[in-house]
Chains A and B, each alone.
Chain A
Amino acid sequence: MCLVYILDDDEELCTSLAWLLESVGIRARCFSDARAFLRSYDRDRPACLVLDVRMPEISGFGVQEMLNEAGAALPVVFVSAHGDIRMSVRALQNGAVDFLEKPYDPQHMLDVVQAAQRTARERFDELAQRRDLLRRLDSLTSREREVLDLVVDSVPSKQIAGRLGISTKTVDVHRTRIREKTGAQSLATLVRDVLRLGPSAPGHPTRAKARPHE
């Protein structure tokens, strides 16, 4: 079940939204303080966040920034009592899934939250797969990683052998070892996962994807 966090300094508004969400069976947790939310946010569970823009101490944008820096996958729905176009553009550019102006239509909020939950589930699954893939790739030796990188780049075995100064036979041995170690059905599925989930090696540029603010 995908949890919905609500972060708004107006406690009664938090309560009302939780009451609304629970009426359609969505579980929600209310926070009126950004730090309290950040402390108890559980990254290991799929979740989304309904976030107020204007709050004392840390604004909604500040919270969004911290989550982005931490590489959190949780989709954010912004709400504001005085939203303007500039504000919503900024929120969406920073990865928010939606921007609602208070007082919003509750039915619309339900639709938006449900969509955010789907997004959360997808992102969470993808993240889990990526973590799994990284864990599997971690078991490879550096030579095996070299071979895999070339395979991913569609370099034929003969040329891999030439580039690395080893025999074609040794390349085949590496390929078999890679498949066995990562528990992949075939090398082709492994290559597909690497291409789909992005990062294949530590220090690979695609890792920066999770940290858009640097």
Chain B
Amino acid sequence: MNDLEPADFRALTQALKYCVLLHDARTYDILWANQAACDLLEWTVDELKPLKAPDMSKNARQYSRELGHRWLGQAVEDGVSATEWCYRSKSGEEFLTEAIAIRVDLPSRPVVMVQFRDIAEEKAVRHDLFRTEGRLRIFLGNLAEGIVVLDDDGGVVFASESAAKLLGVDVPALHGTDFADYCCGGAVPEREGRYRLGAPGGEPRWYAVTCQHIDIESDLRGRLLLFYDITDRVRAEEEHRRDTQHLNHLARNNAMGDMAMAIAHEVSQPLAAAYNFVEGTRARLGTGDESVAWGLGNAVRQIERARRILGSLRQYVGRLEQSEQLTDLNTIVEDCAYFIDVRAHQHAVDVEFDLSAAPLPVRCENVLIGQVVMNLAFNAIDEMARWPQGERKVELTTRRTADGNAELAVRDHGRGLPDDPPGDRIFDGVFTSKENGSGIGLALSHRIITRHGGRIHAAGNQPRGAVFRFALPLAPVQATSTEEHA
């Protein structure tokens, strides 16, 4: 098929689906059109020949005769020139086309051959795509959920703007990095769940993460992570858990209180009887046997001790049943003193009470505040128990602060505060000390104090050890004088 006849070329040209118009390179008059062009524009070649641009173009400025000439002129000059041209058919239908003008130097004369095809549909598709993309971009930009796609090694191959925003970095910084750097604990999520994420060095937050494998036309494949911030929810749940724990603690406390009261009642009867018998015996003995008198005297002392224990227990449990009331911080400390002394004695710790002479009226649930006092004191005692016996000292002091608060400080001489977590985060529940059942923990102490409008904090003690302090607002004085003796 090497030698095609001119007739063959004509047939080929006429069979083209591309439209072809031939213009004179000088006058731009139409010289000829192929069958496809005639079909589209609904004119015969002869009808086309006299037509000028306005006769066969959309009536718009960019399709004026002048601009048409300029386009064709460019082709004459440069050999080729492309544009978008909107033709109009005989019946008035308009076609947006991609039109390429090419100068062809025919043996007879130079001409400009324009090839064009209807691109309206393509154009519409492209426009749709563009619009969809624009919308998607806006949606993604405003999405609360972060999206990242990771390759098999955990490298970030795609990150949405929202993901970058959540993690506190920008998208380019995220691209190509190892996502494990953003995961607390260093493990990239592999299944749905709650994870702590955050930029290296930043404050991690809680996220709910879903995870799936994607493979989009071998263009984007890997692990798709969708995540959104649930830190507030996690915190609320944590608080709820603590509150529940607190309530359970109180309920247990109450039940124990009831039982302690019942026991105190039952024990007081035989104790009273024993005391009567011993005293009755002592009276009968008169100045009799000295060693018997000595024994009875000691029996009396032991009964006295048991009485004091019952007294403390009753006083303490009795206060369990009262809710918020006006009381003196010193009284609360004194109520707890017996229990603190018992604990201190077990560990051979020397506890020194230095209470302010001036009253410290506060409005509070004194049982709860008492729990905090005991918690702090027990912690200090437990800490000192690990030191040589001569050094086991804990001090409890109360005072009125310059800014109108009643303050309690518990000072020990132990190892001091841990560096991690730092001092002020010791109360946020991460640091739960040893929880051996007797204390209520620092987190609860913190909640109790703050709920009473007070402050609690920990600091180092000099030369060593720690000081835990809480301060409660002092109650107005005139209220004290009327209710204190009620």
Name 14 A/B residue pairs within 8 A (Cβ), A-sorted: A10-B269, A13-B273, A20-B277, A20-B279, A20-B280, A24-B283, A79-B272, A82-B314, A101-B268, A102-B268, A103-B269, A103-B310, A106-B275, A106-B279
List residues of A (83-103) whose CB comes within 8 Å of B's CBs. Answer: 84, 101-103
Residues of B within 8 A of A (CB): 261, 264-266, 268-284, 303-304, 306-307, 310, 314, 318
User: Does B272 contact A103, Cβ atoms closer than 8 Å?
Assistant: yes
Residues of A within 8 A of B (CB): 10, 12-13, 15-17, 19-24, 79, 81-82, 84, 101-107, 109
User: Does B280 contact A13, Cβ atoms closer than 8 Å?
Assistant: no
Number of A-B contacts (CB under 8 A): 73
17 more A-B residue pairs beyond the given contacts A13-B270, A81-B264, A109-B276, with a C-beta to C-beta distance below 8 A:
A12-B273, A13-B269, A13-B272, A13-B273, A16-B272, A16-B273, A17-B273, A19-B276, A20-B279, A23-B280, A23-B281, A23-B284, A84-B318, A103-B272, A103-B306, A103-B310, A106-B278
B residues within 8 A CB of A19?
A: 276-277, 280
User: Does A23 contact B269, Cβ atoms closer than 8 Å?
Assistant: no
Beta-carbon nearest neighbor of B261 in chain A:
A82
B residues within 8 A CB of A16?
A: 272-277, 280
B residues within 8 A CB of A15?
A: 273
Beta-carbon nearest neighbor of B283 in chain A:
A23
User: Does A12 contact B270, Cβ atoms closer than 8 Å?
Assistant: yes
A residues within 8 A CB of B318?
A: 84
Inter-chain CA distance A81–B307, complex, in Å, is 11
User: Does B268 contact A20, Cβ atoms closer than 8 Å?
Assistant: no
Inter-chain CA distance A109–B276, complex, in Å, is 9
Most chain A CB within a 10 A radius of its CB, from B264, B271, B278, B279: B279
Q: Give the residue of B272, B282, B283, B303 whose beta carbon is less than 8 angstroms from that of A102.
A: B272
Beta-carbon nearest neighbor of A79 in chain B:
B272
Most chain B CB within a 10 A radius of its CB, from A105, A106, A109: A106
Supposing A16-B280, A23-B280, A23-B284 touch, asked if A103 and B271 sit within 8 A by C-beta, the answer is: yes
Shortest distance between the CB of B340 and any CB in chain A (Å):
24
Shortest distance between the CB of B284 and any CB in chain A (Å):
5
B residues within 8 A CB of A23?
A: 279-284
Q: Give the residue of B275, B281, B282, B284 whose beta carbon is less than 8 angstroms from that of A103.
A: B275
Beta-carbon nearest neighbor of B314 in chain A:
A82
Inter-chain CA distance A211–B271, complex, in Å, is 37
Shortest distance between the CB of B288 and any CB in chain A (Å):
13
